[in-house]
């Protein structure tokens, strides 16, 4: 939204520093503001080429007293007919071909002009980060540098009268090329400007440096065939001759920015993030703050190329086209355009004036309140794309296996909410039935499907390794091994690291001055209780009866922050990963193994550093006082839940450790009761565990997770520790304390479930308070079917809000509340090995008790905001990845044993029913076609949640209601189109 | 998220300066000789400030009269057009402005020899024509210049500068964009010493970083003092030349 110009008048300040004024006119919200900023030009900006003899004499050190590194090689790549060359990039090349730039086999010695970097940063922050990383990490091999052309006296250009900002920036890039060519004339290194902008190339044609389009440049490379595979697919007209793809189909063009700004201001357009329905990929919903419920976007043309998660601008459709959310299931893989009724739905919405549109918005709000009809809208612009790399496989029917050579094929993505991608490859035949990674480049309006390019082959479909990698990529989980820089931050001693025996020894204190502040708790009878086979033990407990009848209870958490210091590469890696990810056959660690399973694992019989929370609890388990300290502990025993249970139950054991464990169990029962009395929820999710055969590591059987009393023993004290720590860090850092909240669910979330319960069972769920909700859930029982209660709990869980991490300055105290746990303030402190939130909480607690000063990044609201945003996302992705992994393995188990199981109907649709099978924790859609031969005779009753149809085998009428208990035949089928194995259910 | 890199890995700031470089600093004194007893005009980057000193004179109000020393009164007028966007209010009774006035009075009370002028009022009036970050520091510099012009006795120069902390790098003499994006410290330094007459910290600065911030701040303030001193000597030489020519 800004137009920039530079007014003349440079002023020399001192040797090598000149100042000028940058004058902009910025229009925002209709008004125009003149902005004047100083702009300093200098002559100490080096070319960073090793072949240069001038620049090393002019460089100046930075704040850390380091001189810039000269990165560009003196003998860069030698191309036929051109010779040795450096490459200069244009903005559009970076934005379109960042994958190619990262390719280790091409693009060496690259100069990124500052103006390009700035433009990239404004257009796409993720691409900017990748480009910056290339410049930071590529000094050995790829050699990318940023040249600050805007600050260099020699290359700065002033905007001419009547010159557009883009033209001025293109000219700035050309000026940079020119300067480099002159500057390096002695060394005979050529400059190639790579740009896809034809006008820019033409303007440059009378200059001395060489300009090439990306395609032309890649053609020049000795390994061009290989590199071309990952070329971005931008516009078919350029080097794509087949007309097959370009049919008459076209999407509505996006509105120009000016119209969007105006529309948003006068209330005729709305902005929000679009969410594509899980069941129907041609239906999306957009949450708009002024509307109580999401606005629907239905049909391909109305969706207008929006991807799940994109930020979109929408415009309401006329009232006659409003509708209820669809009760039809539709997924991208089986979808064929010709069957789609929505296609005819296209409206020329431009006929409606803005004033009418505002009236429409008012009607929409009332309509939402009164009945089920939802306002619908269409997408008119997409300001921000959520595009990333996607995993999928080539659609076999789109491949011509006879002719070799390059061809266009479709890639079907694993995420069924997304359309298929068209890519161009010559390895189509070879890549059939392989999981491949693709990247999306563009979606021109005359293409029905987005254009992308091939990035990488992961391996065959249903090969465990390829599937795991696909899953990790799909959920954006970083799984590459830790880099050398990260591993260098670990203690030199490695596995031989030992806690000092004597905390007062001068040698040890000399090495770690903070040691004096550590408390020696090695005399306490501490033990840990975890699942069997647990290797990363991050918590341990102890309890002791005090003379006054009270109890001393301690929770000891591995002191991860002793090893992970803020600001180190190790910390950055942990912060970026955010959490460990648990898959059925694999664990992706947040921190390197050495810490997780050894130095920070509170293993028995060895001294370990810990962060201890020690309470004095009275006989009612009320807190009398609490103390926090960094400590040294020695765990006496590592129990599994079962072993602990046996030890506690064994009456013959009367040693102090067992007495302590019994006290812990008693107290934990009291704590739990208090929590439930306060209204803590006990929600259920169908959690299953897949047993792996230890020899072949093939999945064996599926089991629903069991809970023992000792499970909740540990859990209760972890909750207590988290609450106590939350209070303490909020007290010391009221603006930036790392906390976790869980909002109360809005009543609209429960509307449908309540209606179902009311209609079918005469029950209801109260939303007055968490206590009322908990009580009403307890009342949801069906005497004939004990599982019914669990089913309602599972369905309620899906209506709840997700808990989230936040920093205390972001909400007012009353909004800190954790609804599910029924406490006013909460954080995560007890698993710093596998969650980054806990790492931050540890540092803040250490700061709060004066152990060591808190790092700046945890005291700064903006940085905390970034941390919270990232760990929330990572946490969600990790959950999805874990579930997807279970789903995959459950499919593998079912593959070998088809069976008939009990299921429950949880949703009734127009063209099918959704059934959940508790034994495997799977749910699936049974399509109407698989229920009856005569689909036209089927009748869907929306009010009663009832589907009536003629049964296939018996020919009798059958009614299915929601909540019905049904027998289903369960088998696992490999979908021929998506190559995804899923549970197929058939009604018995 | 800022639109630009506040401090690039190559060590350049938003406006092209390096971490330890001052903005353009230009000043002159005796700019309003008829309207006041001492005056100055200062441009520090895009901060443009006019300062007028009136007095020592007889106080208008009896409450301003102190039998042992002069009273010091400082009024800061931030014009409506001084920022990018024209503001509606006249900033007159804004808390930020009142706070600034108090800070300025406290700073100069200790540096002006007020006891030499009992029962009088020294009235300082400041007009901020344009502002672009680090305004408090610029105000102090402009007052120092105007007081010297007025001939009121002072112990030494007070020169001031703002320093921002970007991650772990201190940035000298911040502009508005930088000031809005990071914690800043304003220092007032007495003469060539390392004595501070003012230390104002906006937001939090970690204690372990304060030392490096102060070090570059003091060096920057000394440089400002030098620039003011050069200007004053030039002006003095010019005046001497003019009066001896008569
Ligand atoms: Zn050079």
DSSP symbols for A644-672: HHHHHH-TT--SHHHHHHHHHHHHHHHHH
The Cα of B7 is separated from the nearest Cα of chain A by a number of Å equal to 11
Tell me whether A135 touches chain B (CB under 8 Å).
yes
Spatial strand order of the sheet with A912-917 comes to A922-927, A912-917, A899-909, A965-974, A981-987
- Which tokens belong to B246? 């008569």
Beta bridge partners of A18: A12, A41
Q: Are residues A725 and A772 in the same domain?
A: no
Confidence class of residue A241 from pLDDT cuts 50, 70 and 90?
A: very low
CB atoms near residue A660 (< 10 Å):
24
At A608 the three-state DSSP class reads strand
Q: What is the pLDDT of residue A247?
A: 44
Q: Which residues in B have their CB inside 8 Å of a CB on A?
A: 1, 3-5, 8-12, 15-21, 23-24, 45-46, 84-85, 132, 165, 167-170, 175, 177, 183, 204, 206-209
Assign residue A276 the CATH number of its domain: 2.40.50.690
pTM across the whole model: 0.64
Angle at A140 between CA A136 and CA A142, to 5 degrees: 75
Q: Would you say residue B1 has pLDDT above 50?
A: no
The Cα of A379 is separated from the nearest Cα of chain B by a number of Å equal to 26
Q: What is the pLDDT of residue A975?
A: 67
Average pLDDT score over residue span A703-709: 63
Beta bridge partners of A946: A941, A961
Assign residue A179 the CATH number of its domain: 3.40.50.1010
Q: CB under 8 Å to A866, separation ≥6 — which residues?
A: none
Residue A364 to residue A385: CA distance in whole angstroms:
27
State the Cα torsion A321-A324-A329-A330 to the nearest 10°. Answer: 20
Tens of pLDDT, residue by residue over A121-150, are 888 877 888 898 888 876 678 899 999 999
Is the alpha carbon torsion for A79, A83, A84, A89 positive or negative?
Answer: negative
Give residue for tokens 């229920």. A931
In chain A, residues with a C-beta closer than 8 Å to the C-beta of B15 are: 37-40
Q: Are residues A731 and A785 in the same domain?
A: no
Q: Are residues A192 and A109 in the same domain?
A: yes
Residue A849 to residue A866: CA distance in whole angstroms:
25
Cβ–Cβ under 8 Å, residues B8 and A146: yes
Task: Indicate yes or no: CB of B17 within 8 angstroms of CB of A40.
Answer: yes
Q: Is residue A31 domain-resident? A: no
State the Cα torsion A716-A718-A724-A730 to the nearest 10°. Answer: -130
Q: How far does the centroid of ligand 1 lie from the alpha carbon of residue A65, in Å?
A: 21
Most confidently modeled range among A427-436, A952-961, B172-181: B172-181
Q: Choose among A34, A68, A567: nearest Cβ to B10.
A: A68
Q: Is residue A620 domain-resident? A: yes
- CA-based nearest residue to A421, from A447, A459, A456: A447
In chain A, residues with a C-beta closer than 8 Å to the C-beta of B85 are: 33
Tell me whether A700 touches chain B (CB under 8 Å).
no
β-strands A110-113, A83-89: how paired? parallel
CATH homologous superfamily of B7-245? GHMP Kinase, N-terminal domain (3.30.230.70)
Assign residue A953 the CATH number of its domain: 2.40.50.140
Q: How far does the centroid of ligand 1 lie from the alpha carbon of residue A51, in Å?
A: 8
Q: What is the pLDDT of residue A340?
A: 29
Q: Is residue A699 domain-resident? A: yes
Give residue for tokens 């003149």. A34
Q: Are residues A518 and A659 in the same domain?
A: yes
Residue A316 to residue A377: CA distance in whole angstroms:
4
Tens of pLDDT, residue by residue over A95-108, are 888 888 888 888 99
- Which tokens belong to B237? 């030489």
Residue A810 to residue A736: CA distance in whole angstroms:
8
Q: Would you say residue A902 has pLDDT above 70?
A: yes
A window 551-610, beta carbon within 8 A of B: 567
Q: How far does the centroid of ligand 1 lie from the alpha carbon of residue B121, in Å?
A: 61
- CA-based nearest residue to A303, from A354, A225, A251: A251
Q: Are residues A841 and A919 in the same domain?
A: no
Q: Choose among A13, A36, A150: nearest Cβ to B24.
A: A13
Task: Indicate yes or no: CB of A63 within 8 angstroms of CB of B208.
Answer: no
Q: What is the pLDDT of residue A7?
A: 47
Average pLDDT score over residue span A595-616: 91
Tens of pLDDT, residue by residue over A472-520, are 888 888 888 888 888 888 988 888 888 888 888 888 888 888 888 899 9
Q: Is residue A219 domain-resident? A: yes
Q: Are residues A144 and A269 in the same domain?
A: no
Give the number of domains in chain A: 5
Confidence class of residue A773 from pLDDT cuts 50, 70 and 90?
A: confident
Report the phi/psi class of residue A793: left, alpha or beta, with left for phi > 0 and alpha for psi in -120 to 50: alpha
Q: How far does the centroid of ligand 1 lie from the alpha carbon of residue A184, in Å?
A: 7
Share of chain A above pLDDT 90, in %: 22
- Which tokens belong to A588? 């992706």
- Which tokens belong to A298? 């239905």
At A730 the three-state DSSP class reads helix
Element (H, E) at A539: strand A539-545
Average pLDDT score over residue span A305-319: 85
Residue A398 to residue A415: CA distance in whole angstroms:
19
Cβ–Cβ under 8 Å, residues A437 and A455: yes
In chain A, residues with a C-beta closer than 8 Å to the C-beta of B208 are: 853
Q: What is the pLDDT of residue A109?
A: 92
Determine the structural domain holding residue A381 and report its residue range.
250-341+354-386
Q: What is the pLDDT of residue A533?
A: 78
Element (H, E) at A900: strand A899-909
Element (H, E) at B129: strand B121-130
**What stretches of A187-268 adopt beta strand conformation (E)?**
190-194, 210-212
In chain A, residues with a C-beta closer than 8 Å to the C-beta of B5 are: 117-118, 121
Q: Choose among B4, B16, B169: nearest Cβ to A63.
A: B169
Mean predicted lDDT score pLDDT of chain A:
82
The ranges assigned to domains in chain B are 7-245
Average pLDDT score over residue span A706-713: 74
- Which tokens belong to B216? 């570059």
Residue A101 to residue B62: CA distance in whole angstroms:
76
A window 139-168, beta carbon within 8 A of B: 146, 148, 150-151
Tell me whether A787 touches chain B (CB under 8 Å).
no
Task: Indicate yes or no: CB of A37 within 8 angstroms of CB of B177.
Answer: yes
Q: What is the pLDDT of residue A737?
A: 93
B80-106: string of b/e by CB count within 10 Å (b at 16+)? Answer: eebbbeeeeeebeeeeebeebbebbee
Q: How far does the centroid of ligand 1 lie from the alpha carbon of residue A46, in Å?
A: 5
**Cα R_g (chain B), whole angstroms:** 18
Query: Which residue of chain A has the CA closest to B20?
Result: A63
In chain A, residues with a C-beta closer than 8 Å to the C-beta of B183 are: 860
Give residue for tokens 């200007």. B231
Give residue for tokens 């105000």. B139
Tens of pLDDT, residue by residue over B123-135, are 999 999 999 999 9
Tens of pLDDT, residue by residue over B151-190, are 999 999 999 999 999 888 999 999 998 998 888 999 999 9
Average pLDDT score over residue span B229-236: 94
Residue A253 is classified by DSSP as P
Residue A351 is classified by DSSP as G
Mutate to test the interface with A, among B1, B16, B215 (most CBs of A within 10 A): B16
Query: CA distances (Å), B24 to each of A149, B17, B138, B191, B224, in order?
Result: 21, 11, 12, 21, 11
Average pLDDT score over residue span A35-63: 90
Cβ–Cβ under 8 Å, residues A394 and A436: yes
Q: CB under 8 Å to A111, separation ≥6 — which residues?
A: A72, A86, A87, A88, A89, A145, A147, A176, A180, A191
Q: Would you say residue A3 has pLDDT above 70?
A: no
In chain B, residues with a C-beta closer than 8 Å to the C-beta of A40 are: 15-17, 21
Tell me whether A460 touches chain B (CB under 8 Å).
no
Q: CB under 8 Å to A664, separation ≥6 — which residues?
A: A541, A543, A553, A713, A717
Give residue for tokens 């009774």. B93
Query: CA distances (Å), A770 to each of A682, A744, A745, A800, A823, in order?
Result: 10, 8, 10, 11, 11
At A731 the three-state DSSP class reads helix
User: Which residue, A849, A883, A917, sits at the end of a domain?
Assistant: A883
Q: Is residue A434 domain-resident? A: no
Q: What is the pLDDT of residue A368?
A: 57
State the Cα torsion A361-A366-A371-A376 to the nearest 10°. Answer: 0
Confidence class of residue A276 from pLDDT cuts 50, 70 and 90?
A: confident
User: Which residue, A782, A800, A818, sits at the end of a domain?
Assistant: A800
Tens of pLDDT, residue by residue over A405-422, are 677 888 888 877 788 888
User: What interface predicted TM-score (ipTM) does this complex get?
Assistant: 0.94
Q: Would you say residue A265 has pLDDT above 90?
A: no
Q: What is the pLDDT of residue A905?
A: 87
Q: Are residues A768 and A865 in the same domain?
A: no
Tens of pLDDT, residue by residue over A880-898, are 888 888 878 877 777 777 7
The Cα of A146 is separated from the nearest Cα of chain B by a number of Å equal to 8
Q: Choose among B9, B17, B207: nearest Cβ to A136.
A: B9
Q: Is residue A468 domain-resident? A: no
Q: Are residues A698 and A787 in the same domain?
A: no
Q: Are residues A716 and A609 in the same domain?
A: yes
Confidence class of residue A698 from pLDDT cuts 50, 70 and 90?
A: low
- CA-based nearest residue to B120, from B63, B53, B39, B55: B55
State the Cα torsion A726-A727-A728-A730 to the nearest 10°. Answer: 80
In chain B, residues with a C-beta closer than 8 Å to the C-beta of A737 are: none
In chain A, residues with a C-beta closer than 8 Å to the C-beta of B84 are: 33-36
Task: Indicate yes or no: CB of A121 within 8 angstroms of CB of B4.
Answer: yes
- CA-based nearest residue to A916, from A968, A975, A977: A968
Q: Choose among A37, A41, A63: nearest Cβ to B19.
A: A63
CB-count exposure of residue A792 (10 Å: 0-12, 13-18, 19+): buried
Residue A423 to residue A393: CA distance in whole angstroms:
11
Q: How far does the centroid of ligand 1 lie from the alpha carbon of residue A49, in Å?
A: 6
Q: What is the pLDDT of residue A65?
A: 85
Q: Are residues A219 and A132 in the same domain?
A: yes
**Cα R_g (chain A), whole angstroms:** 32
- CA-based nearest residue to A303, from A323, A280, A319: A280
Q: What is the pLDDT of residue B122?
A: 95
Report the phi/psi class of residue A945: left, alpha or beta, with left for phi > 0 and alpha for psi in -120 to 50: left
State the Cα torsion B219-B223-B228-B232 to the nearest 10°. Answer: 120
Element (H, E) at A259: helix A257-266
Q: Is residue A909 domain-resident? A: yes
- CA-based nearest residue to A960, from A897, A903, A918, A917: A903
A-B CB pairs within 8 A amount to 80
Q: Are residues A749 and A735 in the same domain?
A: no
Mutate to test the interface with B, among A113, A856, A858 (most CBs of B within 10 A): A856
Is the alpha carbon torsion for B124, B129, B135, B138 positive or negative?
Answer: negative
Average pLDDT score over residue span A428-452: 84
Q: How far does the centroid of ligand 1 lie from the alpha carbon of residue A160, in Å?
A: 28
Q: Are residues A208 and A316 in the same domain?
A: no
Residue A301 to residue B200: CA distance in whole angstroms:
58
Task: Indicate yes or no: CB of B24 within 8 angstroms of CB of A11.
Answer: yes
Q: Is residue A462 domain-resident? A: no
Q: Choose among B9, B46, B183: nearest Cβ to A36.
A: B46
The Cα of A864 is separated from the nearest Cα of chain B by a number of Å equal to 13
Q: Would you say residue A350 has pLDDT above 50?
A: no
Give, as residue ranges, everything with CB less than 5 Å from ion ligand 1: A 47, 52, 54-55
Q: How far does the centroid of ligand 1 lie from the alpha carbon of residue A69, in Å?
A: 12
Cβ–Cβ under 8 Å, residues B171 and B19: yes
């Amino acid at each position: 939204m800004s137009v920039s110009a530079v007014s003349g008048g440079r002023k020399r300040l001192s040797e090598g520093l000149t100042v000028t004024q940058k004058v902009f006119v910025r229009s925002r919200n209709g008004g125009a503001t003149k902005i004047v900023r100083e702009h300093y030009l200098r002559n100490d900006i080096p070319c960073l080429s090793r072949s240069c003899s001038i620049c090393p004499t002019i460089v100046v050190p930075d704040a850390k007293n380091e001189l810039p590194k000269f990165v560009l090689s003196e003998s860069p790549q030698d191309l036929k007919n051109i010779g040795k060359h450096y490459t200069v990039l244009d903005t559009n090349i970076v934005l379109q071909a960042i994958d190619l730039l990262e390719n280790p086999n091409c693009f060496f010695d690259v100069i990124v002009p500052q103006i390009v970097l700035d433009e990239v940063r404004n257009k796409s922050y993720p691409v900017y980060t990748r480009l910056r990383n290339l410049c930071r990490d590529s000094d050995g091999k790829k050699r990318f540098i940023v040249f600050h052309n805007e600050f260099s006296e020699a290359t700065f250009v002033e905007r001419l009268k009547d010159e557009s900002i883009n033209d001025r920036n293109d000219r700035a890039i050309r000026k940079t090329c020119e300067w480099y060519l002159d500057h390096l004339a002695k060394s005979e290194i050529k400059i190639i400007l790579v740009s896809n902008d034809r006008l820019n190339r033409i303007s440059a044609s009378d200059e001395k440096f060489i300009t090439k389009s990306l395609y032309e440049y890649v053609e020049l490379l000795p390994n061009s065939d290989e590199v071309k595979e990952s070329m971005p697919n931008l516009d078919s007209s350029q080097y794509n001759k087949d007309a097959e793809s370009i049919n008459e189909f076209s999407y509505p063009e996006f509105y120009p920015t000016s119209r969007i700004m105006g529309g948003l201001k006068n209330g005729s357009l709305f902005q929000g993030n679009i969410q594509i329905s899980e069941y129907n990929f041609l239906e999306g919903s957009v949450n708009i703050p002024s509307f109580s419920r999401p606005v629907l976007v239905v049909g391909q043309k109305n969706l207008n190329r929006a991807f799940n998660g994109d930020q979109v601008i929408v415009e309401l459709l006329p009232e006659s086209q409003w509708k209820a959310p669809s009760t039809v299931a539709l997924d991208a893989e089986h979808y064929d355009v010709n069957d789609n009724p929505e296609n005819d739905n296209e409206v020329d919405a431009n006929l409606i004036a803005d004033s009418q549109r505002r009236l429409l918005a008012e009607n929409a709000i009332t309509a939402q309140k009164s009945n089920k009809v939802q306002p619908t809208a269409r997408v008119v612009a997409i300001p921000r794309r959520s595009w990333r790399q996607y995993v999928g496989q080539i659609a076999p029917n789109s491949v011509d296996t006879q002719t070799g050579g390059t061809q266009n094929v479709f890639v079907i993505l694993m995420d069924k909410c997304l359309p298929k991608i068209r890519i161009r490859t010559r390895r189509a035949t070879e890549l059939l039935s392989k999981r491949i990674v693709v990247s999306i480049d563009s979606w021109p309006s005359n293409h029905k499907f987005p254009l992308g390019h091939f990035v990488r082959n992961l391996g065959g479909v249903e090969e465990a390794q390829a599937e795991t990698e696909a899953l990790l990529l799909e959920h954006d989980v970083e799984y590459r091994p830790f880099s050398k820089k990260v591993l260098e931050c670990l203690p030199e001693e490695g596995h031989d690291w030992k806690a000092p025996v004597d905390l007062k020894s001068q040698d040890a204190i000399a090495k770690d001055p903070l040691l004096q502040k550590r408390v020696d708790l090695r005399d306490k009878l501490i033990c840990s209780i975890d699942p069997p086979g647990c290797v990363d033990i991050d918590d341990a407990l102890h309890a002791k009866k005090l003379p006054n009848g009270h109890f001393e209870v301690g929770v000891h958490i591995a002191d991860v922050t002793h090893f992970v210091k803020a600001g180190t590469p190790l910390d950055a890696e942990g912060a970026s990963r955010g959490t460990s990810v648990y898959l059925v056959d694999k664990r992706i660690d947040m921190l390197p193994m050495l810490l997780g399973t050894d130095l920070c694992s509170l293993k028995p019989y060895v001294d370990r550093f810990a962060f201890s929370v020690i309470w004095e609890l009275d006989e009612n388990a009320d807190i009398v006082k609490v103390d926090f300290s960094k400590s040294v502990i020695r765990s006496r025993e590592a129990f599994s839940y079962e072993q602990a249970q046996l030890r506690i139950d064994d009456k013959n054991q009367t040693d102090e450790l067992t007495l302590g464990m019994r006290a812990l169990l008693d107290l934990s029962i009291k704590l739990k009761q208090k929590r439930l009395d306060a209204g803590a929820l006990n929600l259920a999710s169908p959690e299953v565990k897949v047993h792996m055969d230890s020899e072949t590591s093939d999945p064996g059987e599926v089991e629903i997770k069991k809970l023992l009393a000792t499970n909740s023993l540990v859990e209760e004290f972890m909750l207590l520790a988290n609450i106590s720590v939350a209070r303490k860090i909020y007290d010391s850092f009221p603006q930036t304390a790392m906390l976790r909240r869980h909002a109360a669910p809005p009543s609209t979330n429960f509307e449908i479930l309540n209606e179902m319960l009311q209609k079918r069972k005469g029950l209801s769920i109260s939303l007055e308070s968490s206590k009322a909700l908990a009580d009403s859930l307890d009342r949801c029982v069906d005497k004939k079917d004990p599982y019914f209660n669990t089913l309602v709990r599972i369905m309620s869980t899906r209506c709840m809000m997700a808990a989230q991490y936040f920093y205390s300055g972001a909400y007012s105290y009353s909004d800190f509340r954790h609804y599910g746990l029924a406490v006013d303030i909460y954080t995560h402190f007890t698993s710093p090995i596998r969650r980054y939130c806990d790492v931050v909480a540890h540092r803040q607690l250490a700061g709060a008790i004066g152990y060591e000063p808190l790092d700046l990044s945890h005291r700064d609201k903006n940085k905390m905001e970034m941390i919270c945003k990232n760990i929330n996302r990572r946490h969600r992705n990790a959950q999805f990845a874990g579930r997807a992994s279970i789903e995959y393995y459950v499919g593998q188990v079912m593959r070998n044993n088809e069976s008939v199981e009990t299921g429950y109907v949880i949703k009734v649709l127009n063209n099918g029913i959704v059934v959940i099978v508790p034994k495997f924790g799977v749910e699936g859609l049974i399509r109407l076609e698989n229920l009856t031969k005569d689909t036209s005779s089927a009748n869907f009753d929306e009010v009663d949640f009832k589907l009536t149809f003629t049964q296939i085998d018996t020919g009798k009428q059958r009614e299915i209601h929601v909540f019905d208990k049904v027998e289903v035949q369960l088998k696992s089928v490999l979908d021929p189109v998506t190559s995804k194995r899923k549970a197929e259910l058939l009604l018995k | 998220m800022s639109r630009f890199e506040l401090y690039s890995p190559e060590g350049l700031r938003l406006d092209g300066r390096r971490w330890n470089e001052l903005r353009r600093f230009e000043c002159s004194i005796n700019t309003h000789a008829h309207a006041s007893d001492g005056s100055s005009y200062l441009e520090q980057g895009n901060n443009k400030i006019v300062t007028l000193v009136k007095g020592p004179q007889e106080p208008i109000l009896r409450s301003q009269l102190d039998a042992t020393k002069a009273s010091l009164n400082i009024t800061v007028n931030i014009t409506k057009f001084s920022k990018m966007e024209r503001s509606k209010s006249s900033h007159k009774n804004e808390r930020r402005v009142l706070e600034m006035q108090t800070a300025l009075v406290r700073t100069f009370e200790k540096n002006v020899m007020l006891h030499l002028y009992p029962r009088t009022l020294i009235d300082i009036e400041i007009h901020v024509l344009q502002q672009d970050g680090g305004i408090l520091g610029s105000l102090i510099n402009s007052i120092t210049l105007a007081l010297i012009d007025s001939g009121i006795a002072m112990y030494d120069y007070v020169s001031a500068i703002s320093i921002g902390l970007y991650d772990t790098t201190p940035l000298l003499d911040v502009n508005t964009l930088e000031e809005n994006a990071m914690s800043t410290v304003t220092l007032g330094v007495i003469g060539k010493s390392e004595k501070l007459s003012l230390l104002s910290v906006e937001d939090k600065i970690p204690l372990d970083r304060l030392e490096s911030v102060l070090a570059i701040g003091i060096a920057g303030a000394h440089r400002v003092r030098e620039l003011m001193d050069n200007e004053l000597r030039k002006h003095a030489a010019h005046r001497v030349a003019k009066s001896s020519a008569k």
